Chains A and B, each alone.
Chain A
Amino acid sequence: MFDSTDWKVADRRIGILFIIPFALAALVFMVYPVAEAVRLAFYEHNPLRPEASHFVGLENFRTIYDDPLFWKSFQQATIWTACSIVLQTVIGVALALLLHLPLRGISLFRGLLLFPYIVPTVVIALVLQWMLNAEIGVVNWSLKSAGLIDENIYWLATPNMAMISTIMLNVWKYTPFVTICVLARLQTIPLELYDAAKVDGAGTLRRFIDITLPQLAEVLTVVVIFRTIWTFNKFEEIYLLTKGGPGTSTFNLAIYSFEQSVASLKMGVGAATGVVMMFLLFTGSLIYMRVFKFAEEETA
């Protein structure tokens, strides 16, 4: 017979066994690429001439620091991320509140809500390109037919509208993620809290501010952190929809990094941009969690 110590050792071994595949995958697909990107950030590396690769210290970081396009991309990435996150959060919470209502057939709407999230981005971006085509797109045609506009709107051909269009795509696609997370949390808020507030005379708005929002704070903190990281790093939506244009009006740092790496074959500069993005997001996330005291509450 085994004694309790044997069981513990066996348990631990089985646990380690289960972790090994993930750890290996993480090493190969996460740790190694990140480490390689950090290493490359200190090298001049042209992929067509790998033999000429050499250490350049902080030169790549100096290059991006001196490049006005980097700063423009950073500014636009911040605007694109901030607008997307605010809209996703507001609309996501509103939709979650609606879907939390005990209405007949509401589960059907909850299912439909996931549609934008599960359709591949490349499909959506290409379809949207046609829909938003100023001259033959269905969006302008519909708006004109409804008498809402007289002149075509150039959704992707003017800098401001292109930025708005990419934000719209991001909001449409990822709001369901916010909604699902918030809805899950809404369903666990004890109803007694609302009953007690009603007895005390609190109206709908007061109950939302004093009960619902505080109860959602934690989940919103997590959702906003994840959405910020994912949105700030987003590449494919903008690249597929506008390729960063017109001009460079929808460049973000991911597209800047891609352009440096692939178009200019400056892998080191592209990698340095990635390292800066990683640093920015890591620092931002720490500050955000500290401001919302998320970490302390978790520990407590």
Chain B
Amino acid sequence: MQKKSEGIKPAITRRQFLSDIAVLGAGAATGAGFTLPAWAQTKSTKTGTVRVWGEPGPYGGVAVDAMNEWAKQFAPDLTFKLETLSWDGVYVKLMTDLAAKNPAHCISVESPIAYQLMAEQLLEPLDDVVQKVGKNRLVDGVKWEYWGAWQGKQYVLPAHHQPHLLVVRMDVVKELGLGDPDKWDWNDLRNAAKTISEKKKDMAGISLALGRNLCTDYHFAALLHSAGGSMFDPANKFQVVFDSPETVEALEYVKSLQPYMPKGAVSYSFLEVVDSIVTGRAAISFYWGRPYGRAAEENKPVFANLESFNHARHPKTGRRSNWNDFQGWCIPRSNNAYIEEVKAALAYYQTSPEWLVRYCHSLMPNVSPVYKDVLNDPRMQTHPFFQTKKDTIMNYYVNSLPHSSSTGNELLKGISPLAGIVHGRSILAQTVQKVVVDGWKSADAAKWGAKELEQIRKDNLRLLGGVV
């Protein structure tokens, strides 16, 4: 395996590439060949620090660099500063800071939480920024509302889309003759996990998060949606539909996979799942593109053999639903002295293909481009991962989109502002844990989850506004 990876040696390394592109990008984006439209040239005399929240990862830093470049030219006394929030802490931090009326001036957040914030009327509408960015630029298969639109107004500007897919160690799959992961259904996936667990010493067949956290919510949601289930029905006043045979089936499926997971999976969250893949302790997982960057630096043999596919089909529905974050930028409206400056800086960086390519390149293939011109930009393919992982990258970037889903827009049937609260209370993860930790029957756990969701719906009818 070691020899194989040595043979693949790319022309330049990822780290070298990132370092090179940082230098190039700084030069390219300082103005050379990039003419700003009149609206972006409005000067601001405001002073101070504009706080920007982002999730862990270098891409938030790239975006803030772009915003600072705008500030350098048009608001010289302003500095944009990134504050990184851990994934599992994002809801608590967001809610406590909003409650204390001290949120950041600009927030990058996943769509379910953004939907809640916009329905709470805590966000500034961004329709004017959308016009400046270009309404017709989105890649095929997505709509503006996926990032955050409510009652006719756009509140969230796309940062990236980010699906979790089936991450597979192909060397192990080939060695054990487990077939093509792209053709697997749920039964094939379980059989593959079982075979790997039985035949490979010190390797779990599959690694999923089963802890009481956001990652478990996201893993389970994909299975629930593949089975055809949902939490709420947007077509019927957001009635709770969680107590269903589909939920029970998804829970039973997780339970049936558990023997082939690391035993510690019941406390796993994002980091532990990545660790298990990158260190070679698990052969299959549901994950976003993040393990590739780490594996490229820490465990080259694993990197060389890692590929991602759309999820295994549900045997009856045929669905291959993933979880897509549809991460976007939004602007809290209360106590925010920099609304116009943030809008201008966002528009500046969103209209600069150089910065947007750098944004995607900063953690390949974790953050997918959302604009056609960026996806098709020749510079995009200069990243070294394109030499060996093109199929995987395109699966994340493009082929995943027909299977997009999330709790905030279940099976793309309608925006639900309740999903953020569901995640804040880890209702899906708790439901899963009732089965895998407490030994409840799946049907009872589904009933428990439905009762909790009903309570959330009842407590937050106001968020549903004109819908209910």
Contact = CB atoms under 8 A, between A and B. Distances in A.
Interface in B216-255: none
B53 interface: no
B33 to A, nearest CB: 45
A197 to B, nearest CB: 53
Contacts of B262: 135
Interface string B203-225: 00000000111000000000000
Contacts of B100: 47
B212 A244 contact: yes
Contacts of B266: 154, 157-158, 246
B450 to A, nearest CB: 16
A265 B211 CA distance: 22
> How many A residues are at the interface, by size bracket?
20 to 34
> How many B residues are at the interface, by size bracket?
20 to 34
A263 B95 CA distance: 8
B263 A154 contact: yes
10 contacts: A48-B95, A154-B266, A154-B267, A157-B264, A243-B213, A245-B437, A246-B433, A263-B425, A265-B95, A265-B424
Nearest to A259: B425
The 4 closest A-B pairs by CB, nearest first: A47-B99, A157-B267, A247-B437, A247-B433
A180 interface: no
Interface string A11-32: 0000000000000000000000
B122 A246 contact: no
A176 to B, nearest CB: 29
B91 interface: yes
Given A246-B212, A262-B92, A264-B424, A157 B263 contact: yes
B442 to A, nearest CB: 15
A48 B98 CA distance: 7
A135 B95 contact: no
A33 to B, nearest CB: 15
Contacts of B98: 47-48
A17 to B, nearest CB: 35
A36 to B, nearest CB: 14
Nearest to B92: A262
B425 A135 contact: no
Interface in A239-288: 242-249, 259, 262-266
Contacts of A263: 91-92, 95, 424-426
B319 to A, nearest CB: 29
Given A247-B433, A259-B425, A264-B424, A135 B92 contact: no
B120 interface: yes
B430 interface: yes
Nearest to A69: B430
Nearest to A266: B459
A261 to B, nearest CB: 9
A264 B453 CA distance: 12
The CB with the most chain B CB atoms within 10 A, among A134, A242, A243, is that of A243
A48 B212 contact: no
Interface in B336-354: none
Nearest to A135: B264
Nearest to B279: A136
Interface string B432-449: 011001100000000000
A246 B437 contact: yes
Contacts of A233: none
A159 interface: yes
Contacts of A264: 421, 424-425
B281 interface: yes
A73 to B, nearest CB: 14
A243 B430 CA distance: 13
Contacts of B211: 245-246
A156 interface: yes
B156 to A, nearest CB: 18
A215 interface: no
Contacts of B91: 263
A78 interface: no
A212 interface: no
A266 B281 CA distance: 41
Interface string B75-87: 0000000000000
B104 to A, nearest CB: 16
A262 B267 contact: no
B96 interface: yes
Interface string B120-163: 10100000000000000000000000000000000000000000
B281 to A, nearest CB: 7
Given A47-B95, A157-B267, A265-B424, 7 more contacts: A47-B96, A48-B98, A242-B267, A245-B211, A245-B437, A262-B92, A263-B92
A56 B265 CA distance: 42
A221 interface: no
Given A247-B433, A262-B96, A156 B425 contact: no
A121 interface: no
B211 to A, nearest CB: 6
Nearest to A68: B448
Contacts of A243: 212-213
B212 A247 contact: yes
A264 to B, nearest CB: 6
A135 B263 CA distance: 9
A158 B438 CA distance: 10
Contacts of A134: 263-264
Given A134-B263, A135-B281, A159 B437 contact: yes
B323 to A, nearest CB: 20
Contacts of B122: 48
Contacts of B459: 266
A87 B262 CA distance: 33
Nearest to A260: B425
A49 B434 CA distance: 32
Interface string A108-150: 0000000000000000000000000111000000000000000
Contacts of A48: 95, 98-99, 120, 122
A154 B430 contact: no
B276 to A, nearest CB: 8
Contacts of A152: 263
Contact of A246 (B96, B99, B267): B267
A202 B420 CA distance: 69
A65 B323 CA distance: 37
